Amino acid sequence: MTDTILVGIDGSQDSRRAVEYGIAQAKLNNAQLVLAYVIEWSPYSFNTPEENEQRHKRREEEIQTAHKRVLNPLLESCASEELKITGTVRHGQVADALIQIGREHGAGLIVVGRIGQKGVTSLIFGSVVSKLIQLTHIPVTVVP
């Protein structure tokens, strides 16, 4: 049975709806919910020495901001639900990181919003959602 449901969030209205859908599914299946926020980051970029030196500090700041701006407000708004809900923040490529987190938590379902990409951006880089669908071994639900 799916006892852990992973929801990928990005602070948009779309991901808000994904969380609501995740909550409904979790109640139906008596599962726990993990909300994951991924900070876009690549280990293969080229940096100046100064950036490398400050990287650890920046990383901590980025994680804190993600908690404060996106994750905590969402967790607070869900506090009234009678569910076990936890949150996590991770650096990486969105699709890869979500699959990784899903595997770590033994998730039976990944729920995402449409992750608001349109037009040229998704033409060039491919949409995160379609990459997720191509790579995942865990069932994915995309909430419109």
Partner 1 sequence: MKKKSTVVSSLGLLLFLLMPISAFAQEAGSGIDQVVNKVFGTVLGPFVSFIFYSVTINGVSFPLIVGWLVICAVVLTFYMGFIQFTGVKHSIDLLRGVYSNPEDSGEVSHFQALATALSGTVGLGNIAGVAVAVSLGGPGATFWMIVAGLCGMAAKFTECTLGVKYREEFPDGHVSGGPMYYLSKGLAEQGKPRLGRVLAVLFAIMCIFGSFGGGNMFQGNQAHQMIANTFGIFTETGWLFGLILAVIVGSVIIGGIQSIAKVTEKIVPLMAGLYVGTALIILLANFSNIPTAIVVILKGAFSPEAIGGGVVGVLIQGLKRAAFSNEAGVGSAAIAHSAVRTSEPLTEGYVALLEPFIDTVVICTMTALVIVITGAYANAEGLGGVALTASAFQSVFPWFGVVLAIAVLLFAFSTMISWSYYGLKCWTYLFGESKGSELSFKLIFCVFVVIGCSASLGPVIDFSDAAIFAMSIANVLGLYLMMGSVKADLKDYQSRIASGEIKRYK
Regarding 44 and contact with partner 1 (CB under 8 A), the answer is: yes
β 85-92/109-112 pair status: unpaired
φ, ψ of residue 10 to 5 degrees: the values are -140, 10
Q: Which is nearer to partner 1, 25 or 88 (CB)?
A: 88
Adjacent-strand bridge partners of 9 = 37
Strands of 140-142's sheet, edge to edge?
Answer: 85-92, 32-40, 4-9, 109-112, 140-142
Axis-axis angle for helices 128-135, 94-104 (nearest 10): 40
Residue among 40, 1, 34 at smallest CA distance from 131: 40
Regarding 41 and contact with partner 1 (CB under 8 A), the answer is: yes
**x/- map, 104-143, partner 1, by CB under 8 A:** x---------------------------------------
Q: Identify residue 112 by its one-letter amino acid code.
A: V
Total residues at interface with partner 1 (CB under 8 A): 27
Candidate list 57, 80, 119, 120; residue touching partner 1; CB under 8 A = 57
Regarding 52 and contact with partner 1 (CB under 8 A), the answer is: yes
Regarding 54 and contact with partner 1 (CB under 8 A), the answer is: yes
Contact residues: partner 1, CB under 8 A:
39, 41, 43-57, 59-60, 62-63, 90-92, 97, 100, 104
